[in-house]
Structure 1
Amino acid sequence: MTNASSRPPSPPRPGGVGDRRQHSLLRRLHFFAGVLCAPLILVAAVTGLLYAVAPTVEQVTNRPMLTAEAPDGATEADRVPVSALVSTAQAAHPDLALAGVRIGDDDETTRVLFSDPDLPESTLRAVFLDPWTGEVTGDSTQYGSSGSLPLRQWIADGHRTAWLGEPGRLYSETAASWLGVLAVGGVVMWWQRQPTGRTGRTGSSRVRAMLRTGGAGRVRTMRLHGATGTLVVAGMVFLTVTGLTWSSVAGGTIGEVRASLDWGTPSVSSSLPGAQEVSPSADAGAHAGHSGHGDHPPGGAVRVSGLNAGSVDRVAATAVQELRTPLTVTPPTVEGQAWTAAEDRAAYRLTNDAVAVDWATGEVTDRLDFTDWPLAAQATSWLIQLHMGTLFGLPNQIVLAALAAAIIAMVCWGYAMWWKRRPVGSPAGRLAGPPRRVPWSRPTAGTVVLVAALVAYGVVAPLFGVTCLAFVLVSALWDAVRRRVSTPPR
């Protein structure tokens, strides 16, 4: 329970009914969203904290499988041919089709990747081999363009779907769509709450007041909540913007906008000059009598040309010469196509170039440098890597982990404030209701702008729009019930 001495000072009264209405709208929105959406945000923050440090944990726990030691004075000529590494990996998985080869730095193992129909979407079988000895150091799976191993993939699945599958993506999208709104709305209210004094208070002094953390009881809890939100509001908005790009509903809308503005991520052309592209199924009869190194997987399926030992080594040599390691070379999936090679995402690597290589000659047939991408596509790539904690390595991960911890603390402080706001002497099971609604009046320009902004955002992020409308209905119902209960019978 609280007493009068532990209650925070009353916020400054806005100048007019219209101003009070804007403040009331923000408070009620913050209350309902905070109480009902906070559990979703808490789950996203906890799994996000784990995911932030997952890349480093992955490197430490899988070090024997991921690292190799080059002999003293070794050169590129001392490496085991990539085709020999592929053959060793294929011996372990003769029934799987080659999906690519990841060539690492001198102190990294080489990954031979296979398509496995028994694995989830975007997941490949990976055999790890020492490029200096040819020995197998591990056999696992990797997920997505980041090449996540099982532990990081499991954590990512929890962050993205709460381990509920595709329906669970709705939870993460709801949490992401509300996170930025709660952050911005909370900071605006916290700014308005700071007293201006008789002579007025400058912006800098109000910011200093917003960062105070002293006091006792609910006052201290509120100040901790407000000060932390002030410090991390930009990070919370960043997580909302970047998180929605992966979402199920809003992500599709964002993707359509990017496509219409030609902001999509471009890809290198794998077409071979003068060659006719034919699917493996249509070309199976023409190659039924062919034999060669790795050209015919079991089960009657026929692979396209360019998968023999000579082709693999020519492509790998050209890729290493044209690009920076680590990189991944990918075989053609259609007859008449070239291999493609692309630089992998790595810490402090701001660009990812790609080339297409004619497997028969080793010549580059097409090149796509990162600097040729649309600026919006470049920015999207950087922001996504920042969100994943891979753009700037360990410092990036520490910042994300600190941001996730701050969000977790703010959720806990928010619920603590709700609990402590109960009327004095109320039973333990009784919780405080939402802030009271300001009586209806002609809306001001500020109120109209606020509502219009919420509606526009609801169009871009439909789950926000649906839940926001639900909060409005709950708020109206709550007021109706409260008026009915408080009105004495006649």
Structure 2
Amino acid sequence: MSLTELSGGSTPEPATATETPARPARRTSPFGALLLRLHFYAGILVAPFLVVAALTGLAYTTTPQLDSILYSDQLTVAQVGDRPLPLADQVGAARNAHPEGSITTVQPGEGDRTTRVTFALPELGDKQHTVYVDPYTAQVQGQLTTWFGSTPATTWLDDLHRNLHLGVVGRHYSELAASWLWVLALGGVILWWRRRSASRATARHLLVPDLSAGKGVRRTRGWHATTGIWLTVGLLFLSATGLTWSRYAGANFGAGLDALSARAPEISTSLTTVPDEPAETGGGHHEASGAGGVVESAAFDRVVAAARTAGLDGPVEIAPAAEAGSAWTVTQVDNTWPVAKDRVAVDPAGGQVTARSDFADWPLLAKLSGLGIQAHMGILFGPVNQILLAALALGLLCVIVWGYRMWWQRRPTRADRRALAGTPPPRGGVRGMPLWVLLIGVPVTVAIGWALPLFGITLLAFLVIDVVVGAVSRRRRPAVVPTSPAPAGS
């Protein structure tokens, strides 16, 4: 939520010639005044970043359907056969079509999905070439430049959402939006709760806009606030999960996971005995090349068979060893709920499972982080996840538009004091705070600012600018000269 409670009762609504004089402004507690002013300025200044994040995130929710339209020839087969050909034949076909580079991963095709063979090349950087093979005919159906399995369209929209295609500098926009989103959402809930409690409204009125209010700021505020209440949980989720892979806050989050030993466990790929030569197989395919050098294509069939025997069903990804004499890994890659993320390490020569790591054994924080990222990307619950994210993005856009509309509706309209927008809530919240609140609140705010650096820096900037503007305003304000009372009887 953003810009909730823009008025907050701190400044009276503009009166017209036909209206009765406005009632005196309701006295606001120091905490309410401070929160209202922070919410106002943060909403005005951060909302543009949230608009960009909402629009680009809304576009990203369409990527599964967009991939199906743009890349159906590569991703799916025209006709599903009775049974797939040996994986060695499919990998060999991909190697013939793409002689350069080393194979980093192979995802065997199932149903109408093609087999994906990914090649790494130094000139591609962190991207790869993925060759798509019909698992029933071993015919190559195409090749795409991918990024961790994502198609070019998905990669483009992902970069747009994360950094606006500006690289590292662009990541600051999305981290700034995520850093302030939870502050605006929680602040709006508190302000709306205080207003509704002061008017003795029932809990139902927190979730339903006051439709009896006439046109103007009261009706806009009702839609703005109640919509924000409905979105709060989702917005807090987006803020938290977005921060986990941001540049600065994400690094602090990762350091916290390391300190708590809460990352997903690594799987050992060491082999106690390393054969001098690859095991001989009938067929003798020697085309596949892993990161550690040349390996036989038939090893893919041995490795995937061992993983299936070990209980890894559904979609899997095979990764040849990073160096010679190490085990290959097979990982479940079903990211829809319930997720399947178990992994095994397999000796490619003999087909024995040498190590195992199950998702059920991951630390709780690692599980929550992994699931949160999948839900943020819209793939955890399939189309339902996409719809929920799209609704959150559209709702956030509506809340922001209503917030700016309130700012405009509260502008002075009298001829002697016209303005383009409403005045901000008054200062003085900090000065009225009890000492014990400051002794607790300041260290907590500093700690949050350290954990979320962009939040801390921008909050400090808001405070400095506000203090400077206040000082300048007081200096320009004309001094009030006290007048002596008139003599009695004059």
2:31 to 3, 22, 26: 22
The equivalent residue for 2:146 is 142
- 1:319 CA drift (Å): 2.9
Please say which structure displays the higher CA radius of gyration.
2
- Quick check: 1:328–1:343 contact (8 Å CA) kept in 2? yes
SS at match of 1:454: helix
SS at match of 1:167: coil
- Quick check: 2:306–2:352 contact (8 Å CA) kept in 1? yes
Cα distance in 2, alignment partners of residues 416 and 6 from structure 1: 24
Does residue 398 (structure 1) correspond to residue 387 (structure 2)? The answer is: yes
Map residues 207-218 of structure 1 onto 2, 5 A cutoff.
207-208=206-207, 214-218=213-217
Q: Deviations for 1:122-167, whole angstroms, at most 9, x for unmatched residues?
A: x2211111101111222112223xx221111111101111111111
- Quick check: 1:6–1:216 contact (8 Å CA) kept in 2? no
The equivalent residue for 2:219 is 220
| TM-score scaled by length of structure 1 | 0.86
1:317 to 289, 305, 322: 305
Change (3 A) 1:211 1:8: farther
The equivalent residue for 1:177 is 179
SS at match of 1:118: helix
The equivalent residue for 1:85 is 90
The equivalent residue for 2:40 is 31
Cα distance in 2, alignment partners of residues 319 and 138 from structure 1: 28
The equivalent residue for 2:375 is 386
- Quick check: 2:103–2:289 contact (8 Å CA) kept in 1? no
| TM-score scaled by length of structure 2 | 0.86
Q: Deviations for 1:256-306, whole angstroms, at most 9, x for unmatched residues?
A: 1101101011122111123499xxxxxxxxxxxxx9823779xxxx9435x
- Quick check: 1:110–1:128 contact (8 Å CA) kept in 2? yes
The equivalent residue for 2:356 is 367
The equivalent residue for 2:296 is 308
Does residue 423 (structure 1) correspond to residue 412 (structure 2)? The answer is: yes
Give structure 2 stretches of 5+ with no counterpart. 1-12, 277-283, 482-490
Cα distance in 1, alignment partners of residues 112 and 273 from structure 2: 40
SS at match of 2:89: helix
SS at match of 2:122: coil
- 1:449 CA drift (Å): 4.5
Cα distance in 2, alignment partners of residues 124 and 8 from structure 1: 66
2:422 to 412, 432, 440: 432
Cα distance in 2, alignment partners of residues 362 and 485 from structure 1: 82
The equivalent residue for 1:280 is none
- Quick check: 1:269–1:356 contact (8 Å CA) kept in 2? yes
- Quick check: 2:116–2:131 contact (8 Å CA) kept in 1? yes
Does residue 61 (structure 1) correspond to residue 70 (structure 2)? The answer is: yes
Q: Deviations for 1:20-42, whole angstroms, at most 9, x for unmatched residues?
A: 21111111111111111111111
Q: Which moved more, 1:211-220 or 1:322-331?
A: 211-220
- 1:481 CA drift (Å): 2.5
The equivalent residue for 2:451 is 460
Map residues 41-440 of structure 1 onto 2, 5 A cutoff.
41-68=50-77, 71=80, 74=82, 78-121=83-126, 123-144=127-148, 147-194=149-196, 196-197=198-199, 200-202=200-202, 204-205=203-204, 207-208=206-207, 214-275=213-274, 293-294=286-287, 303-304=292-293, 307-321=295-309, 322-425=311-414, 430-438=420-428, 440=431
Change (3 A) 1:220 1:116: farther
- Quick check: 2:207–2:230 contact (8 Å CA) kept in 1? no
- How much is the aligned-residue C-alpha RMSD, in angstroms? 2.9
Cα distance in 2, alignment partners of residues 335 and 275 from structure 1: 9
Give structure 1 stretches of 5+ with no counterpart. 15-19, 278-290
The equivalent residue for 2:281 is none
- 1:48 CA drift (Å): 0.9
Q: How many residues are matched?
A: 457
Change (3 A) 1:429 1:114: farther
